[in-house]
Amino acid sequence: MRSFLFLLLVAFKCFQLQAQSSEIDSLQAVLSELTVNDTAYVDIANEIAFKLSLTDQKNSSYYINLAISTAKDLNYQRGLLRAITLKGNGFLMIGLPDQALSYYLEVLSYKASEYPLEYVRLHNNIGEVYRRKEVFDSSLKYFDKALSLALEKLSQYQPVIIYSNLGEVSLMQGKVNDAESYFKQCLTNAVNTNHLRGQGYGYHGLAECEYRKGVVQNAIRLMKKAIEVRSEANHQRGLIQSYLKLGDYFLTNQVNNPDSALYYWKLTEEKADENQANDLLDETYNRLYSLYLEDRDIEKAAYYLDMHKSLGDSLRNAEFISSVEKMKTAYQAELILAENELLRQEQEQHKAEDEARLIVITLAFTIVLGLGFATFQYRRRQKSRIEAERDAVLTKSLLEFSKYLNEQDLDLAQFIDTLLNKSYEVLRCDRATYWHLDEKSNSLYLAGICERKDSTKIPKTRFTRDQFPKFFDDFMGQRTVAVSQISKDKRLADIYEQYFKPFGIESILNAPILIDGQFVGFISYTMTYNQVRDWDMQEQRYVGSIADLIVAAIAKDKSNRLEIEKEELIKKLRIRNKSLKEFNSVISHNLREPLTQIIGFSDLLTDIPSDADFNEIVARISDASNRIDRVIKELSTVLNEEDPKPSDFRELSLERLIKEVLDLLKIEIKNVNITIEQDLKVKKLKSYRPFLSDAIYHLLSNSLKFAEPEKRLHIKIESYEDDYYKFIKISDNGRGINLNKFADKLFKMYQRYHMDVEGRGIGLFIVKNRVTSLNGLIHVESEEGVGSAFTMEFPKEINMLASKNSQDH
């Protein structure tokens, strides 16, 4: 009777408000006439919230919260379940599936099964969450449950949306034919019931199927039909998704119409921003950035890149802010579910025992049935016990690996080998492999393997992203990649034929190894001899944890190596500084004082009248003393200068630096018949200007000084690089040096090789000193009468110095 009166009231109010602008206005007017003590108040608030959720999320949230608070006060469970489900839907529509899941799990904690329609919607929504998170097994589980409930308990209910969701999951798994079948069922049901949103889902899904099959024109036609229907249904999020996909279709090779793609993506941007669909807006920004970048419109590309990054940060912040609340709610919901499940099992067990007693008393033959039931129960308990023991084994092995990882002296290669050996035994698979990414060739190579003795041996194999792009793409954004039957997975058809099939591999469980978000390799566990294996979530989590341990081991190994190199470098620097200071002290104190006395006595002697010979001797003494004093001052200057700190290094222009040095030598250059050639493939070098300039100056000065008088001097200045080092090479066609005779003395002080040329024999010593202080090495090639070539090499990264020095010295 009460429901009948309520319907009359709704009909009367709708008739009164038929002149108003919309159905929502009518419902709001009805709500204003009801009291908060009426359950109808909750139902109307929920209906308004549902209508507004398509266009106005903010006001929709207000009515949802109103319905929740009122339903709790009235202890109106059905209305409360509907309101909490709508709240989860709101988060799902703006691209926050984890927050939505927390509310859906809260609904499961109530007796939702008493309300079949709400129960069907709830399972469908949870399946949608897992679909967006790409957890396909869980997604299919909930969608199938929703479909079976709808067909079993709701005879008038048309499962349009459920068929659409099953099609979406099949499409994401690469099962195009299955997806097409589901979408056709969706469209048929939607057309029969005039369900506009369902028609939109059907056309959209069929367009995607045509696109996957390569029939792009059909895909465009169907997607335009989806846009038409969704516009009529005012389904804003669906409309945004269709605009986004249609833009993608226009950029295919078959169509190649960037202008149309840009038009639909701009519509997507406008609609997504208007409806707060942040996840779709983020995808749109990324596509617009790529499109403008390809058109070389750098300004617009930069704008959309910034928008993409900013929105991505805000989405992650939103996830983080609610993570604690989400985890708490999920935990409570799971606890309640576990308690309900335990109670249900106990009730079932008591019921089975009662039935067994009755059957034993009445009919003798039912003893067999009772024994069979008892056996089933025993086996189920045995299965639970085995699973618990297996979980304990997996956990124990991870703890052992973690303990091994924390050891002080970690050998990375041995650690990975141990990890593969023990983990493939724990998982009881046929082979475990570790693949490492070679950044230089952008290819994966087999870096570690453990396998059964009777397995087909895998040769040293390499493959690149370009060869198998779909195989590589599976690793991005997923913790693990599990495939039970590779031969049936169309995504892996190419790599299956070339790699998996020849070695009898049918099932794989892979986990990517990511360091700072960069893919550096993966671990793989396989079943051979065409064995099919369904990898459960427990095994997938275990392999994901193994990958995390390898990442931690790589980080620790890198840290250990850097610490060792640092200590070795400090030790060498201390020894060098100590020896240099001692040498400088000996030079300064043991020679400087007598030289000072010689100079003083020479000055006195010049004042005493004497003959010409005596004055000449005195002059020579004075000249020699001054020259010795000058050499000691030069040595003191060289040896007392401190090596530059890393903070002293700057990015230098080699072209400008060499020009400055040549300007310093312009007088010497003018006096020589010379050609200077420059080939600077490396334009810039991070170094300390005074030391690098000094080294280049002395090498060029020596080339000028030791030129062959009878031929034109040719000096060549080059710069080039490899993967790890930058090089500066100065070569000439001058007199050259006999390296067989002077190689071991080449860079020592006061070594001269051409006595007819004036010099002090300190230039190459200064060059070697400067290059060493700049973390570099110097090499020489020379032949007497042919010329010399000096090559200075500097590491691109300072951290490489210790290993390189240990190899060369």
DSSP per residue, 723-738: SSEEEEEEEE-SS---
Q: Is 796 exposed, middle or buried (0-12, 13-18, 19+ CB in 10 A)?
A: middle
pLDDT at 2 over 70: no
Q: What are the structure tokens assigned to 371, written together?
A: 């024994």
Radius of gyration of the chain (CA): 41
Output the pLDDT for position 804: 40
Beta carbons of 715 and 674 less than 8 angstroms apart: yes
Q: How far is CA 727 from CA 626, 654, 681, 683, 718, in A?
A: 39, 11, 10, 11, 8
Beta carbons of 216 and 252 less than 8 angstroms apart: yes
Please compute the mean of the pLDDT values over residues 186-208 and round it to a whole number.
88
C-alpha torsion 682→687→689→692, nearest 10: -70
What are the φ/ψ torsions at residue 341 (nearest 5 degrees)? -65, -40
Beta carbons of 404 and 415 less than 8 angstroms apart: yes
Beta carbons of 184 and 206 less than 8 angstroms apart: yes
Output the pLDDT for position 314: 63
Cα torsion 293, 296, 298, 303: sign: negative
pLDDT at 194 over 70: yes
Distance CA 748, CA 764 (A): 7
Q: Which residues pair with 113 in a beta bridge?
A: none
Please compute the mean of the pLDDT values over residues 490-507 and round it to a whole number.
76
Cα torsion 517, 519, 520, 521: sign: positive
Distance CA 329, CA 308 (A): 31
Nearest in space to 524 (alpha carbons), one of 507, 511, 506, 537? 511
Output the pLDDT for position 12: 37
Which are the contacts of 186, defined by CB distance < 8 A and separation ≥ 6? 160, 161, 163, 164, 167, 198, 201, 202, 205
Q: What are the structure tokens assigned to 521, written together?
A: 């390799």
pLDDT at 298 over 70: yes
Q: Which residues pair with 788 in a beta bridge?
A: 732, 782
In tens, the pLDDT along 148-176 reads: 888 887 777 778 888 888 888 888 888 88
* Strand order across the beta sheet in which 507-515 lies: 462-464, 443-451, 431-438, 518-527, 507-515, 481-483
Output the pLDDT for position 596: 66
Output the pLDDT for position 655: 92
What are the φ/ψ torsions at residue 173 (nearest 5 degrees)? -90, 0
**What residue has token string 């900013």?**
310
Nearest in space to 765 (alpha carbons), one of 773, 757, 756? 773
Please compute the mean of the pLDDT values over residues 85-112 and round it to a whole number.
78
Nearest in space to 206 (alpha carbons), one of 230, 188, 228, 223? 223
Q: What is the DSSP letter of 110?
A: S
Distance CA 731, CA 703 (A): 8
Beta carbons of 60 and 52 less than 8 angstroms apart: yes
Q: How far is CA 85 from CA 3, 19, 326, in A?
A: 23, 32, 15
Query: Measured in Å, how far apart are the chain's first and last C-alpha atoms?
Result: 100
pLDDT at 516 over 60: yes
What are the φ/ψ torsions at residue 463 (nearest 5 degrees)? -150, 150
Output the pLDDT for position 3: 42
Q: What are the structure tokens assigned to 510, written together?
A: 């892979």
For residue 688, what is the enclosing H or E element?
Answer: none
- Say which range, 262-271, 411-420, 459-468, 704-713, has the weakest mean pLDDT: 459-468
Q: What is the DSSP letter of 642?
A: P
pLDDT at 671 over 50: yes
Q: Which residues pair with 524 in a beta bridge?
A: 433, 510
For residue 168, what is the enclosing H or E element?
Answer: helix 160-172
| 377 — pLDDT class (breaks 50, 70, 90) | confident
Output the pLDDT for position 312: 67
Distance CA 283, CA 748 (A): 64
